[in-house]
Structure 1
Amino acid sequence: MSGFLFVVPPLVGHINPAVGVAAELAARGHRVAWACPDPGLVARLAEPDAEVFGCAGPVPGADGAQRPAGLRGPEALKFLWEWYLVPLAEAMAPGVRAAVESARPEVVVADQQAFAGALVAERLGVPWATSATTSAELVDPLAGLPRVKEHLHGLLADLRLRIGDPSGTADPRFSPRLALAFSTPELVGPKGALKGDQLRYVGPSIAARPTAPGFPWQWLDSGRPTVLVTLGTANTDVGGRFLDVCLEAMREQADRVQTVIADPGGALGADGGTAPGQEDKDVLIVPSVPQPALLERVDAVVCHAGHNTVCEALWHGLPLVVAPIRDDQPVVAGQVVDAGAGVRIRFGRVSATRLGAAVDEVLHEPGFRAAAGRIRTAFRAAGGAPAAATHLEHLARESR
């Protein structure tokens, strides 16, 4: 039996893939613990009795900091690093150190955006593996931006001096021993920047999630294609206009398509024609959806190109309309388009006419579904959580 400590940021999309791996390790008799600034979030997504070490850190939005409006491209990336990722790592470091010293794991499993996991493990001499929960980090989005790359590398070097081993050389986003990529080359494409024996493509880790009661399954009409519209859980502050456009576009197609819109922030409201939680025969607006179960019943997905949503859709062989907003989403959207599995639209400027045309494309042009089907096959062959758990077991044995 070995011990594993998962170090994760307080972000649903980064915790969910680790949940399945942790559950698989626990089922095999290993000790599993977590370190996260939001222990309650881990308990909700994993097991209520999961061993979670809290570590102080800035939860998104908790300090009142706002992302400047319209920030895109390199400036958005610099903002993410300077105002979130690096401060998060520094704030988490003392709690992560305490968790390692208490749990005494053979292996630390560090999320790519929880730099403290890798750097603290490095400082304490504990083997660490990378949990690459987004395929965006498997390419080099800064290849054409040398000054931005140099700046970000400088931030990491300074961070290492404060919380890591000053003599260390490994990039905390890529373990030299084991990097678990929750994707496959069929989605990442030929531009993958990370090479070497440490990289293991395991495909998505899709764990069973409880299905909350109350979703009106009887509303689904098997005689028409169904489209799911979702912007995930972290975009309620910017999604109002886009959801309005989606509602307009899909009402225009209501004679041949029905639509489920996830609206967790209530952006559409009662003025949308279908109040949240109510239904008519064409559009259903609900605050949340049982996404894994619902994806088995829909024909296409409109989303923000969040890695979790993209992977869950492609796991079911569903083509996508992607409207990236920020962070890694433009890179993931580009991978979807390059793979032939979807159409990209502009989140902030798309019209109802363009959005409706994009939905028509992915529903009726067979190439999109065929490409999504190829990725589905690759995802399911990659092994998922069991394969990731096996690689971690091997690392633990090698480290004894």
Structure 2
Amino acid sequence: MSRFLFVVPPLVGHINPTVGVAAELTARGHRVAWVCAEPELVGRLAGPEAPVFGCGGALAGERPADLRGPEALRFLWEWYLLPLAEAMAPGVRAAVEEFRPDVVVADQQAFAGAFTAERLDLPWATSATTSAEFTDPLAGLPKVREWLDERLAALRTAIGDPRATGDPRFSPRLVLAFSTPELAGPADGVRWVGPSITARPAPSGFPWEWLDSGRATVLVTLGTANTDVGGRFLDVCRAALRERSDRVRAVIVDPGGTLEPDADDKEVLVVPSVPQLALLERGVDAVVCHAGHNTVCEALWHGIPLVVAPIRDDQPVVAGQVVAAGAGVRVRFGRVTAQKLGAALDAVLHEPGYRRAAGRIRTAFRAAGGASAAADHLDELARESG
């Protein structure tokens, strides 16, 4: 029996893929624990019995909603990722000393896990819950790259091993990528395990009877972290979908309540949350989303083509992967009109090439092994490390 400590940021999209891996390891007789700045979030996603060590690093404040491109990328690092690592480090070290793991599994954006394992000479694996880093998003931005290298070096001196030189986003022993080359493209030194799709608690009360088997179903969602910027886009989606109400029924997820309610709207259902996996399994014909890695992978796991409207962070890269794979159409989040959104939606619903490409990725995803394959690699790393 081995012990595995998962170090994760307090972000749903980074915790969800590892929940199934942890469950698989536990089923094999191993011990698993977590470190997160929001222990209750891990408990909600992994189950109330999941042992979780708290640490610093809870998100504070808001970033400017209009940041895009290199400015948004630098702001993500400066405002969130680097301070997150500094804040998490004491709690991660305390958890390691108490739990005494054989392997640390560090999320690619939770550098405190990688640096702490490095400092204590523990084997560690990278949990790459997005494939965007494999394409080097800083290529072509030498000043940002230089700035980031300096900041990471200073962070390593403070909480890692100053003698080490590796990138904390990529373990030298094991990088688990929750995608496949059919979507993400080739990358060296990566173990492609595909999405880790596992059952999770679903909100009750969804009106399943509202769905119409005679019309196509479209799901519109911007994930859990974009409620501050999504109002205009969701309104455009609603307008485009109303124009197609004779052949489409739509579900729009609006957790922030940004859309004005319309009691007379019988064809577009606006709800604060949905049982997303159950809904995709039930039969969604297209997904309109922000190109978040989790949402994209869950849609393609079911062979569903997409309309992607990336907002920030890794989303432009993931959107590019969807388009390059032929599984969807990209629109501009801040400028798309109802006419252009509708045209993109018509394409993925009615042009068979998009569904065929989504089906190819679905086949590759399911053959990759998911949580079981990831657990196999972690098992092997633990055995190799003695």
* TM above 0.5: yes
| SS of structure 2 residue aligned to 1:270 | coil
1:49 correspondence with 2:49: yes
CA distance in 1, matches of 2:372, 2:349: 33
1:257 correspondence with 2:248: yes
CA distance in 1, matches of 2:88, 2:383: 28
* Change in CA separation of 1:245 and 1:45 when aligned onto 2, cut-off 3 Å: same
1:387 correspondence with 2:383: no
Aligned residue number for residue 113 of structure 1: 109
Q: Could you tell me which of 347, 363, 366 is aligned with 1:377?
A: 363
Q: Could you tell me which of 304, 307, 324 is aligned with 1:318?
A: 304
Q: Could you tell me which of 309, 314, 320 is aligned with 1:328?
A: 314
Residue 308 (structure 1) shift: 0.3
Residue 271 (structure 1) shift: 4.4
Aligned residue number for residue 242 of structure 1: 233
Aligned residue number for residue 168 of structure 1: 164
Alignment deviations for residues 94-120 of structure 1 (CA, whole Å, 9 cap, x no partner): 000000000000000000000000000
Contact 1:89 1:115 (C-alpha < 8 Å) held by counterparts: yes
Aligned residue number for residue 16 of structure 1: 16
> Runs of at least 4 residues of structure 1 off by over 4 A?
271-274
CA distance in 1, matches of 2:290, 2:112: 28
Contact 1:247 1:272 (C-alpha < 8 Å) held by counterparts: no
| Match runs of 1:334-353 below 5 Å | 334-353=320-339
CA distance in 1, matches of 2:264, 2:314: 33
Contact 2:45 2:201 (C-alpha < 8 Å) held by counterparts: no
CA distance in 1, matches of 2:327, 2:263: 30
Aligned residue number for residue 27 of structure 2: 27
- What letter is aligned with 1:86? L
CA distance in 1, matches of 2:64, 2:358: 35
Q: Tell me, which stretches of 5 or more residues in structure 2 are unaligned? A: none
CA distance in 2, matches of 1:49, 1:189: 37
| SS of structure 2 residue aligned to 1:321 | strand
- What letter is aligned with 1:202? V
TM-score by length of 1: 0.95
CA distance in 1, matches of 2:320, 2:150: 27
Q: Over aligned residue pairs, what C-alpha RMSD do you find?
A: 1.0
Q: Could you tell me which of 201, 206, 222 is aligned with 1:210?
A: 201
CA distance in 1, matches of 2:56, 2:263: 40
Aligned residue number for residue 277 of structure 1: none
Q: Tell me, which stretches of 5 or more residues in structure 1 are unaligned? A: 275-279
Q: Could you tell me which of 165, 185, 188 is aligned with 2:181?
A: 185
Contact 1:189 1:338 (C-alpha < 8 Å) held by counterparts: no
Residue 57 (structure 1) shift: 1.1
CA distance in 1, matches of 2:154, 2:263: 50
| Match runs of 1:108-147 below 5 Å | 108-147=104-143
Contact 1:229 1:301 (C-alpha < 8 Å) held by counterparts: yes
CA distance in 2, matches of 1:214, 1:126: 46
Residue 273 (structure 1) shift: 4.9
User: How many residues get paired?
Assistant: 385
Contact 2:203 2:273 (C-alpha < 8 Å) held by counterparts: no
* Change in CA separation of 1:20 and 1:7 when aligned onto 2, cut-off 3 Å: same
Residue 272 (structure 1) shift: 7.7
1:97 correspondence with 2:93: yes
Identity of aligned residues (%): 78
Contact 1:250 1:356 (C-alpha < 8 Å) held by counterparts: yes
- What letter is aligned with 1:10? P
Q: Could you tell me which of 132, 146, 149 is aligned with 1:150?
A: 146
- What letter is aligned with 2:279? L
Contact 1:248 1:352 (C-alpha < 8 Å) held by counterparts: yes
CA distance in 2, matches of 1:117, 1:210: 27
CA distance in 2, matches of 1:272, 1:27: 48
CA distance in 1, matches of 2:349, 2:156: 48
- What letter is aligned with 1:252? E
TM-score by length of 2: 0.98
Contact 1:58 1:84 (C-alpha < 8 Å) held by counterparts: no
Contact 1:225 1:256 (C-alpha < 8 Å) held by counterparts: yes
Residue 189 (structure 1) shift: 1.7
Contact 1:55 1:96 (C-alpha < 8 Å) held by counterparts: yes
Aligned residue number for residue 277 of structure 2: 292
- What letter is aligned with 1:101? E
- What letter is aligned with 2:295? T
| SS of structure 2 residue aligned to 1:375 | helix
| SS of structure 2 residue aligned to 1:314 | helix
Residue 212 (structure 1) shift: 2.5
